[in-house]
Amino acid sequence: MQISGAQMVIEALIAEGVDTVFGYPGGAIMNVYDEIYKQDKFQHILTRHEQAAVHAAEGYSKASGKVGVAMITSGPGFTNAVTGLADAYMDSIPLVVISGQVPMSLIGTDAFQEIDAVGISRSCTKHNYLVTDAADLPRILKEAFYIAASGRPGPVHVDIPKDVTAQIAEFDYSKPVHLETYKPHTKGNPRQIKKAIEAIANAKRPLFYLGGGVINANAAYEVRDLVHKTGIPAVETFMARGTLSYDDDLLVGMLGMHGSYAANMAASETDLIISLGARFDDRVTGKLSEFAKNAGVVHVDIDPASISKLVHADYPIVGDVKNVVNEMLAMVDKIDAGKYESWRETIHNFNELHPLTYHEDSDRLKPQWVIERVGQLIGDDANISTDVGQHQMWTAQFYPFTRPRQFISSGGLGTMGFGFPAAMGVKAADKERVSVNFTGDGSILMNCQELMTAVEKKLPVINIILNNNFLGMVRQWQTLFYDKRHSETDLSVQPDFVKLAEAFGGIGYRVRTKEEFDAALKDAVEKNVVAFIEVIVERFENVLPMVPAGGSLFNMMLLEKKESK
């Protein structure tokens, strides 16, 4: 069929089963938006900033497991979207981001709203394309979706000049993708898997180290099975929260800079660390030479470049975590779960010694209480997004996650302003559950314009603003490492968050007590509208435990012991 480039974009999105596109129109992408107007197969959600469009697509993708789609115009439209691309790249989120470009004849002339988009996105995408001929569009779009979702997932950027969207060419989407140079390894080497199983069976203190790859690979339930059948304790990275349910006896907790004492000690004392879809990030390992120092390493990852990147792998297995875990499950009878009883006991004692907790020793609410309380009141019925900072770490520590894809947060890039738009994307993907965004008084102001999108499109995100009048995480570092010189982190001057929400047609609450919080949350859930719940919390609360940057995991700053919780 002979159609225009713009029509091809629409046809390709429909063929890929896309039901939601997040975007923002502009000059160079207008031909495509004209075709969006004429179709009714997918919804378009107009965000109020291009960065938010990409974050919303990320949230949508994380919650649904599908490829997220965002559409933007050239120049500033594209540069605004770059943070989202970089965020998705760092957290391996499959996206297809389509941008308009100035017409081919104007490329390189400093035309209005022209920027070398593929030049910029090259280093923050899995792959990118500049389309120079509409005849290539069907192949390129099909490849883009395939590349985004396969192997180690990631964002793919397709830049389409305006004249290409007007060109007429043949559209045939049935040809299978053929990429001679791109063939991801999904099946682990059986011999290596067998060796790994033998190593596990021989280990005295093995430890599962679960990363975000488990969730990307939809392997959480297989991993739960493996953990339970082997009786081997597991630690989760920030990105893997929800792989095991919070109340699982074998879940030691989150490890890393703000990991629990038990998790960090387990990682320090283990003699075999079994890494599934994790990448030994510096926020996880602390001082690398001290990380799991006496342990052998089994490293399962879809990305060969991640294996032995930072820590030498004794048993490297390149493959899809789900496939590899299934292979391991078939050999699980070689492992005697009873053997690790004393190791489990050791870890249990670590937890008894320094449980993850906080003190209610302030007139103001403690942020950790707020997070735990949401867990008690909504729990499994909520999808949880966060922004970046102290509230993000407290959420990872204290929210009772019960399932994979429940926790959506910017882990690798640490993008403030991620939470609200991502939570809109989550809501668009999962209408049934409550979409909660834990945020701070710093983060929420980056992308608070999305109140308008959420109100217009009826995406009732409940934003819980843990307000300590500080850029809390930077303030914490300044307190601890910069002799309390709180340089530019005091946010005493603030908008009225209640009025701000109301100005956009949302609903706002300001709460100072437990009773007020319960009432506000209940009301927001019942009214099912976009909400800001501003919670006035203790200003100087620190995220603990903490491994200072570059320190060893076993050297944690811990919460001082007190009798009362």
Residues marked active site are found at 50, 112-113, 162, 473
Closer residue to other proteins in complex, CB, 132/469:
132
Closer residue to other proteins in complex, CB, 122/522:
122
Closer residue to other proteins in complex, CB, 309/433:
309
Report CA-CA distances (Å) from 186 to 6, 143, 280, 289, 321. Answer: 34, 18, 21, 30, 8
Beta carbons of 304 and 183 less than 8 angstroms apart: no
Residue from 168, 179, 503, 549 that binds other proteins (CB under 8 A)?
Answer: 179
Closer residue to other proteins in complex, CB, 181/492:
181
Nearest distance from C-beta of residue 66 to other proteins, angstroms = 21
Q: Which of 474, 473, 424, 431 is nearest to 447 (CA)?
A: 424
Q: Which of these segments, 81-89, 118-126, 325-333, 422-430, binds other proteins (CB under 8 A)?
A: 118-126
Backbone dihedral angles phi then psi of residue 167, each to the nearest 5 degrees: -60, 145
DSSP for 551-565 reads SBTTS-B-PPP-S--
* Pattern 277-306, other proteins, x by CB under 8 A: --------------------------xxx-
- Site size toward other proteins (CB under 8 A) is 17
Looking up tokens 């900072």 gives 389
Report CA-CA distances (Å) from 34 to 7, 136, 188, 351, 360. Answer: 9, 21, 46, 59, 56
Neighbours of 263 (CB within 10 A): 28
Residue from 17, 76, 108, 119 that binds other proteins (CB under 8 A)?
Answer: 119
C-alpha–C-alpha distance, residues 232 and 207, integer Å: 6
Bridge partner residues of 268 (DSSP): none
Nearest distance from C-beta of residue 374 to other proteins, angstroms = 39
Contacts of 483 (CB under 8 A, 6+ apart): none
Residue from 309, 364, 403, 510 that binds other proteins (CB under 8 A)?
Answer: 309
* Tokens representing residue 502 in the block: 């109301």
Residue from 44, 127, 229, 433 that binds other proteins (CB under 8 A)?
Answer: 127
Q: Which of 409, 352, 372, 349 is nearest to 91 (CA)?
A: 409
Based on the shown chain and the rule CB under 8 A, indicate whether residue 118 belongs to the binding site for other proteins.
yes
Closer residue to other proteins in complex, CB, 131/471:
131
Closer residue to other proteins in complex, CB, 146/477:
146
Based on the shown chain and the rule CB under 8 A, indicate whether residue 147 belongs to the binding site for other proteins.
yes
Contact positions with other proteins (CB under 8 A) in 182-221: 182
Based on the shown chain and the rule CB under 8 A, indicate whether residue 314 belongs to the binding site for other proteins.
no
Closer residue to other proteins in complex, CB, 154/256:
154
* Tokens representing residue 548 in the block: 């200072």
Nearest distance from C-beta of residue 309 to other proteins, angstroms = 6
Sheet holding 155-161, edge to edge: 43-46, 20-23, 68-72, 95-101, 155-161, 127-130
Contacts of 87 (CB under 8 A, 6+ apart): 54, 55, 58, 93, 410, 412, 413, 415, 418
Helices (H) and strands (E) in the chain, counts: 21, 20
Nearest distance from C-beta of residue 33 to other proteins, angstroms = 27
Q: Which of these segments, 123-131, 328-336, 380-388, 392-400, binds other proteins (CB under 8 A)?
A: 123-131
C-alpha–C-alpha distance, residues 452 and 526, integer Å: 20
Strand-pair category, 251-254 with 462-467: unpaired
Contact positions with other proteins (CB under 8 A) in 324-383: none
Nearest distance from C-beta of residue 321 to other proteins, angstroms = 18
The H-or-E segment that residue 302 falls in is none
C-alpha–C-alpha distance, residues 329 and 327, integer Å: 5
Sign of the dihedral defined by the CA atoms of residues 474, 557, 290, 262, in that order: negative
Q: Which of these segments, 116-124, 242-250, 421-429, 555-563, binds other proteins (CB under 8 A)?
A: 116-124
Closer residue to other proteins in complex, CB, 146/173:
146
Closer residue to other proteins in complex, CB, 272/311:
311
Q: Which of these segments, 21-29, 70-78, 178-186, 425-433, binds other proteins (CB under 8 A)?
A: 178-186
Q: Which of these segments, 15-23, 124-132, 417-425, 539-547, binds other proteins (CB under 8 A)?
A: 124-132
Residue from 6, 18, 69, 130 that binds other proteins (CB under 8 A)?
Answer: 130
Chain residues that interact with other proteins, rule: CB under 8 A: 118-119, 122-123, 126-127, 130, 147, 179-182, 303-305, 308-309
